């Protein structure tokens, strides 16, 4: 090994603690890149492979009842590769051991010729045989939640009649990778299931012989999706078509998209923070090292080493530390990435989901980490070039300090120790500022992590307490006359019943358009409430419509603007409506109208889609019994259970995430404060040892060091709060999708907790360095130069 | 002992009107003010003079560590003063050995490794252990600088300087930080190198007693040479009285 490399190895051994603190910061950045990009790739590639192999549709459409022969025409639409007519019906499930009814979706599979679109992946058993009414294949998530295996039985209320079903197969579908029940925010596999049955059997149950109410189609590569949708819409319109849509409006697909968006946001926001801090730490460590080794550098130059070889020697130190960080980060990232993928398999049903950590990802992460370290090293290394050999041989002149403001006026506000600390801080203003910034970044990172609790709490409070105040929502299989509310009100224990009507529309403003559902609410309702941007309840507008802020932004409209509303059910009526308000709603794309106004806007007159009810908890069982026997009721959403499930699911995920972030925050604090303290100590060893010689106690001497660190850590707090709020904003924005919005709510407790973690880890790092002051060898320190 | 001097002197360096001016802010310091002299092959030369008289500046320029403001330095007939930084580095790498007052060893390398640091990049070096034996330090090769006494450290520095078989050995106060006994050991090592390898040696010292070991002595004053002495009779380092 070359002598300079031996020196390198020994330098690394000597600097191990500082090097490790830095390597951990680099590791954190590397790990996040590997987790986020790796998980994103796994999800995206697995999804693409599943879609392709199992022919996931690109076009989805529903109708009331279309004749089967129409499918041949749909299949002939230019751009369509294959189309499949289906019967899709909501059903209520009655499962032994479950008090409340679960909801399900029954989907037909063709009896002849096999599935051409949205093929099923058979995990266990077989598919139902043609015409067998009692046979069903269920999605794996639902089967696992109930411990079902082929041969097990459960009941379903289909079209008002209870039927015994036997599970013959357990399947996965590209259409239900993320299977979410009506009214839920996260999947609840116990209360929601997808059932696949023979077309003939399902047609018999729902009186759909020779007809279909749902069609899915794959398209050719480069097909114009818009044109295909228009053609399909035209064909289905006479049969109650409600407008075809593409993948982006398909629930399962959209949820996966939103997860990918979040991973991308994570990859874009977090690693740069760590790489910035690591560049800064490299700079701090190297410039100090080079200052200390001036004479050695001069010697190397004197004996004939080229500037380049000397610079390379120090660059190698930065690279070596980066490599250690890369190694730790790659191991941690791969491990955590696998964990995240396991977590995903709880939510997303894929035939397989493997964490993809290909070599190029490590190469990318490593390249970025080393580039950051070298960027940090550049300035110090360049300073070597400008150091003439002869000058390098002489020790540097004493550091020039400045008087503090006010000192000249004879103010003696501070003790000499504090003055020493302050002068040192001001002597290196850039470094002090960067150290403060580095520490504040860990405060910010912690706020970013902890704020998700606040955001989720705010979401739960808004959705489940302020906006939706019912105990349950009953959805009808199809729209009913308004008197259906009376039969809901007549259910045992029902204290209050309020109807609602939801109808699919396309809202347009110029070239901007969005497909969503308008909800009509009774004017004097109490169960479902519209909330303004400050979360105060609003009455539904007597005319016009209200949009949630996401829709308003997507369509670029404000209160008072007009939008064109195309009602997709029956006759495709188009109306021009005024936006009477922009409202807050963290989930989905929503628009509200007064029920009366909605009824007036549509040709068929008053109708209701479902009823919200408040119910006496003691009468629940009786109510459930009756609901199961009411053919009109297609599904029931129990708010209490949804809320509890949402909280539990999210809490589990956030706890994992927060633990990771707190760890990352502590790593940054430790990296910054420890390194800063070590460098201070090295710069001031003589000074501090002299103080000890003069008779100052260890405590007094270390106070010089601790005061400076304390000033930095305390000054970092307000800056950290500000940055943290900014990061929280970036995260809320980055995570935003049509499905979810994170409210930007940061509680005082979050600011306080973030600060406490940083202050505490700062204190621990400072005390680790303080121990070195206690063990000063006074004579040795004073004997050596500098 | 006067083998080199008794032959017709062959100049290794021809230095004429060497001037160096340092400017710090508005202050102008004339460190060298027109120095002219020749340094002969195989000769041991001592430079005497008070602090600030220009000895070190002279040595640094001759060694290619620093550049002159004006004047010329010819090394074996070639101009040194006009060379680029890179050429100067090559010159130092292949032709010059340095010994400094404060040894300037790399603390994280052992004695042997400190010497090897130079032999690695030299064109025709001796083995590090050979150099250490010649410098009188055969049994401390695996020690780190912190485990060596001042005299031992300085002998490692000498071994490092001679290991490349330099044409010229430049020593800036090599005994300045040492007591008399150790100083003599170091001087003996330098004299041995000068004798056995025939290396042209220039030695800066404050200590007038040392001048007697040299072939010629130049005394510096205010950036000039105030006088030159040729020693008719040199003494051995052991005879130097501090």
Which pair of structure tokens corresponds to residue A465? 């307490």
- Decide if B120 touches A, using CB distance below 8 A: yes
Judged by CB atoms closer than 8 Å, whether chains meet at A2 and B113 is answered as no
Judged by CB atoms closer than 8 Å, whether chains meet at A303 and B66 is answered as no
Instruction: Give the domain extent around B209.
Output: 3-10+41-61+94-239
Judged by CB atoms closer than 8 Å, whether chains meet at B116 and A14 is answered as no
Q: Confirm whether B120 is domain-assigned.
A: yes
- For residue B188, what is the domain's CATH number? 3.40.50.300
Q: Which of A106-115, A412-421, A701-710, B51-60 has the lowest mean pLDDT?
A: A412-421
What pLDDT score does A410 carry? 47
What pLDDT score does A327 carry? 95
Which 82-101 residues of chain B touch chain A by CB within 8 A?
A: 85-86, 89-94, 96, 98, 100
Residue pLDDT, tens place only, A620-665: 888 888 888 787 888 888 888 888 888 888 877 778 778 888 888 8
Contact B221, B64 (CB under 8 A): no
Region A41-66 average pLDDT: 93
Q: Confirm whether B227 is domain-assigned.
A: yes
Q: What is the DSSP letter of B62?
A: H
Confidence band (pLDDT; 50, 70, 90) for A342? confident
What pLDDT score does A675 carry? 87
Contact B79, B15 (CB under 8 A): no
Structure pTM?
0.81
* pLDDT surpassing 50 at residue B61: yes
User: Terminal CA-to-CA distance of chain A, rounded, Å?
Assistant: 30
Residue pLDDT, tens place only, A75-124: 999 999 999 999 999 899 989 888 888 999 999 999 988 899 999 999 99
Region A299-314 average pLDDT: 90
Chain B interface, best mutation among A10, A302, A306, A400, by max B CB count within 10 A: A302
- Residues from chain A that touch B98, judged by Cβ atoms under 8 A, are 299, 302-303
Q: What is the DSSP letter of A590?
A: E
Of A11, A14, A304, the CB nearest to B92: A304
Alpha-carbon span A248 to B20, nearest angstrom: 77
Sign (positive or negative) of CA dihedral A475, A479, A482, A486:
negative
Q: Identify the residue with better confidence: B242 or B40.
A: B40
Region A666-687 average pLDDT: 84
Place of tokens 């191991």: A331
- Decide if B65 touches A, using CB distance below 8 A: yes
**Angle at A686 (CA atoms; ends A681, A691), nearest 5 degrees:** 95
Alpha-carbon span A471 to A201, nearest angstrom: 35
Chain A interface, best mutation among B57, B59, B65, B168, by max A CB count within 10 A: B65
Q: Is A216 helix (H, G, I), strand (E, B) or coil?
A: strand
What pLDDT score does A721 carry? 96
Closest chain B residue to the Cα of A294, Cα to Cα: B104
Q: Confirm whether B180 is domain-assigned.
A: yes
With left for phi above 0 and alpha for psi between -120 and 50, is residue B90 left, alpha or beta?
A: alpha
- Residues from chain B that touch A289, judged by Cβ atoms under 8 A, are none
Residue pLDDT, tens place only, A481-491: 998 899 889 99
Mean residue pLDDT across chain A: 88
DSSP string, A435-452: HHHHHHHHHHHHHHHHHH
Please state the domain extents for chain A: 62-244, 417-467+640-786, 494-615
* pLDDT surpassing 60 at residue B182: yes
Residue pLDDT, tens place only, A722-764: 999 999 998 888 888 888 888 999 999 999 999 999 999 889 8
Confidence band (pLDDT; 50, 70, 90) for B3? very low
Q: What is the DSSP letter of A466?
A: I
The total number of structural domains in chain B stands at 1
Region A430-457 average pLDDT: 89
Could you tell me how many residues make up chain B? 242
Residue pLDDT, tens place only, A494-548: 999 999 999 989 999 999 999 899 999 998 888 999 999 999 999 999 889 999 9
What pLDDT score does A784 carry? 54
Contact A614, A470 (CB under 8 A): yes
What pLDDT score does B14 carry? 95
Residue pLDDT, tens place only, A274-304: 888 889 888 888 888 888 888 888 889 888 8
- Alpha carbon of A11: minimum distance to chain B alpha carbons (Å): 7
DSSP string, A479-526: EE-TTHHHHHHTSTTEEEEEEEEEEEEEEEETTEEEEEEEEEE-TT-S
Region B175-192 average pLDDT: 87
* pLDDT surpassing 90 at residue B18: yes
- Residues from chain A that touch B113, judged by Cβ atoms under 8 A, are 3, 6
* pLDDT surpassing 80 at residue A364: yes
Confidence band (pLDDT; 50, 70, 90) for A197? very high
Calculate what percentage of chain B has a pLDDT beyond 70.
97
Confidence band (pLDDT; 50, 70, 90) for B5? very low
Q: Identify the residue with better confidence: A686 or A527.
A: A527
Q: Confirm whether B98 is domain-assigned.
A: yes
What pLDDT score does A665 carry? 84
Region A186-209 average pLDDT: 92
Region A219-232 average pLDDT: 93
- Decide if B124 touches A, using CB distance below 8 A: no
Q: Confirm whether B78 is domain-assigned.
A: no
Q: Which of A356-370, A417-431, B31-45, B150-164 has the lowest mean pLDDT?
A: A417-431
Q: Is A424 helix (H, G, I), strand (E, B) or coil?
A: helix
Confidence band (pLDDT; 50, 70, 90) for A230? very high
What pLDDT score does A403 carry? 62
Residue pLDDT, tens place only, A391-434: 656 655 666 666 655 555 544 566 777 777 888 888 888 888 98
**Angle at A733 (CA atoms; ends A729, A735), nearest 5 degrees:** 115
- Decide if A394 touches B, using CB distance below 8 A: no
What pLDDT score does B171 carry? 93
Judged by CB atoms closer than 8 Å, whether chains meet at B108 and A11 is answered as yes
What pLDDT score does A627 carry? 85
Which pair of structure tokens corresponds to residue A155? 């009941």
Of B65, B105, B106, the CB nearest to A302: B65
Alpha-carbon span A4 to A316, nearest angstrom: 10
- Residues from chain B that touch A388, judged by Cβ atoms under 8 A, are 65-66
Count of C-beta atoms within a 10 Å radius of residue A560? 10
Which pair of structure tokens corresponds to residue A38? 């790796």
């Amino acid at each position: 090994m070359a002598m300079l490399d031996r020196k390198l190895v020994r330098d690394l051994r000597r600097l191990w603690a500082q090097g490790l603190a830095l390597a951990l910061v680099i590791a954190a950045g590397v790990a996040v890149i590997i987790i986020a990009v790796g998980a994103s790739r796994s999800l995206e590639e697995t999804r693409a492979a599943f879609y392709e192999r199992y022919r996931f549709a690109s076009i989805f459409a529903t109708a009331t009842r279309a004749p089967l022969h129409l499918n041949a025409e749909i299949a002939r639409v230019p751009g369509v590769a294959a189309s499949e007519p289906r019967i899709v019906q909501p059903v209520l499930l009655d499962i032994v051991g479950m008090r409340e009814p679960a909801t399900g979706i029954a989907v037909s599979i063709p009896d002849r010729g096999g599935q051409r679109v949205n093929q099923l992946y058979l995990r266990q058993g077989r598919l139902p045989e043609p015409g067998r009414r009692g046979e069903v294949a269920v999605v794996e998530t639902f089967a696992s939640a109930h411990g079902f295996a082929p041969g097990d039985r459960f009941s379903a209320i289909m079209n008002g009649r209870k039927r015994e079903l036997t599970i013959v197969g357990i399947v996965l579908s590209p259409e239900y990778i993320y299977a979410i029940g009506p009214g839920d925010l996260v999947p609840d596999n116990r209360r929601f299931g997808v059932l696949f049955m023979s077309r003939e059997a399902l047609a018999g149950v729902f009186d759909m012989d020779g007809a279909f109410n749902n069609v899915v189609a794959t398209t050719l590569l480069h097909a114009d999706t818009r044109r295909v949708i228009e053609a399909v819409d035209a064909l289905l319109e006479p049969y109650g078509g409600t407008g075809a849509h593409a993948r982006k409006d398909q629930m399962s697909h959209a949820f996966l998209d939103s997860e990918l968006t979040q991973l991308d946001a994570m990859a874009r926001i977090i690693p740069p923070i760590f790489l910035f801090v690591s560049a800064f730490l490299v700079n701090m460590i190297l410039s100090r090292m080079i200052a200390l080794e001036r004479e050695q550098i001069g010697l190397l130059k004197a004996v004939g080493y080229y500037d380049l070889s000397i610079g390379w020697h120090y660059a190698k130190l930065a690279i070596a530390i980066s490599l250690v960080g890369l190694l730790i980060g790659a191991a941690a990232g791969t491990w955590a990435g696998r964990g995240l993928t396991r977590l995903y398999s709880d939510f997303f049903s894929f035939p397989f989901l493997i964490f993809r950590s290909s070599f190029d990802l490590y190469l990318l992460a490593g390249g970025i980490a080393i580039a950051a370290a070298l960027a940090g090293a550049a300035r110090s290394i360049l300073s070597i070039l400008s150091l003439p050999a002869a000058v390098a041989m002489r020790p540097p002149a004493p550091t020039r300090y400045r008087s503090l403001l006010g000192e000249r006026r004879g103010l003696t506000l501070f003790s000499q120790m504090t003055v020493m600390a302050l002068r040192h801080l001001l002597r290196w203003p850039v470094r002090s500022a960067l150290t403060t910034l580095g520490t504040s970044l860990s405060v910010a990172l912690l706020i970013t992590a902890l704020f998700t609790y606040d955001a989720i709490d705010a979401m739960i409070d808004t959705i489940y307490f302020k906006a939706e105040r019912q105990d349950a929502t009953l959805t009808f299989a199809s729209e009913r006359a308004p008197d259906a509310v009376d039969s809901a009100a007549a259910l045992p224990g029902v204290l209050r019943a309020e109807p609602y009507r939801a109808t699919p529309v396309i809202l347009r403003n110029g070239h901007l358009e969005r497909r969503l559902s308008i909800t009509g609410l009774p004017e004097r309702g109490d169960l479902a409430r519209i909330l303004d941007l400050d979360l105060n309840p609003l009455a539904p507008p007597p005319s016009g419509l209200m949009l949630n802020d996401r829709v308003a932004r997507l369509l670029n409209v404000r209160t008072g603007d007009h939008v064109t509303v195309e009602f997709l059910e029956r006759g495709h009526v188009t109306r021009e409506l005024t936006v009477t308000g922009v409202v807050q709603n963290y989930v989905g794309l929503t628009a509200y109208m007064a029920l009366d106004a909605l009824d007036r806007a549509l040709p068929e007159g008053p109708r209701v889609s479902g009823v919200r009810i408040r119910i006496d908890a003691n009468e629940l069982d009786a109510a459930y019994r009756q609901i199961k026997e009411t053919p009109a009721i297609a599904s029931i959403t129990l708010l209490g259970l949804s809320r509890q499930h949402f909280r539990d699911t999210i809490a589990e995920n956030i706890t994992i995430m927060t633990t990771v972030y707190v760890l990352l925050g502590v790593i940054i604090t430790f990296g910054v404060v420890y390194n800063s303290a070590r460098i201070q100590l090295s710069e001031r060893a003589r000074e501090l040892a002299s103080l000890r010689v003069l008779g100052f106690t260890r405590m007094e001497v270390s106070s010089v060091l601790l005061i400076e660190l304390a000033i930095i850590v305390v000054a970092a707090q307000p800056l950290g709060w500000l940055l943290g709020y900014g990061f929280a904003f970036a995260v809320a924005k980055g995570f935003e999708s049509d499905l979810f919005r994170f409210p930007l709510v940061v509680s005082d407790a979050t600011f306080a907790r973030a600060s406490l973690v940083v202050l505490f880890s700062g204190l621990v790092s400072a005390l680790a360095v303080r121990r070195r002051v206690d063990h000063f060898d006074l004579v040795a320190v004073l004997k050596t130069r500098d | 002992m006067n083998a080199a001097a008794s032959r017709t002197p062959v100049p290794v360096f021809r230095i004429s009107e060497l001037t160096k001016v340092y400017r710090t802010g508005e202050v102008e310091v004339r460190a060298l003010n027109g120095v002219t002299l020749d340094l002969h092959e195989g000769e041991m030369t001592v430079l005497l003079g008070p602090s600030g008289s220009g000895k070190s500046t002279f040595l640094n320029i001759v060694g290619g560590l620093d550049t002159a403001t004006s004047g010329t330095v010819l090394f074996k007939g070639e101009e040194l003063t006009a060379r680029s930084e890179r050429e100067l580095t090559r010159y130092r790498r292949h032709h010059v050995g340095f010994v400094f007052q404060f040894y300037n060893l790399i603390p994280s390398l052992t004695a042997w490794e400190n010497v090897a640091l130079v032999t690695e990049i030299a064109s025709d070096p001796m083995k590090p252990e050979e150099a250490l034996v010649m410098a009188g330090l055969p049994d401390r090769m695996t020690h780190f600088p912190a485990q060596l006494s001042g005299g031992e450290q300085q002998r490692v520095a000498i071994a490092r300087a001679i290991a490349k078989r330099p044409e010229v050995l430049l020593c800036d106060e090599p005994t300045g930080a040492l007591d008399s006994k150790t100083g003599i050991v170091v001087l003996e090592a330098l004299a041995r190198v000068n004798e056995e390898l025939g290396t042209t040696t220039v030695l800066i010292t404050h200590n007038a007693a040392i001048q007697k070991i040299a072939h010629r002595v130049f005394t510096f004053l205010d950036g000039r040479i105030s006088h030159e002495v040729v020693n008719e009779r040199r003494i051995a380092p052991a005879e130097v009285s501090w």
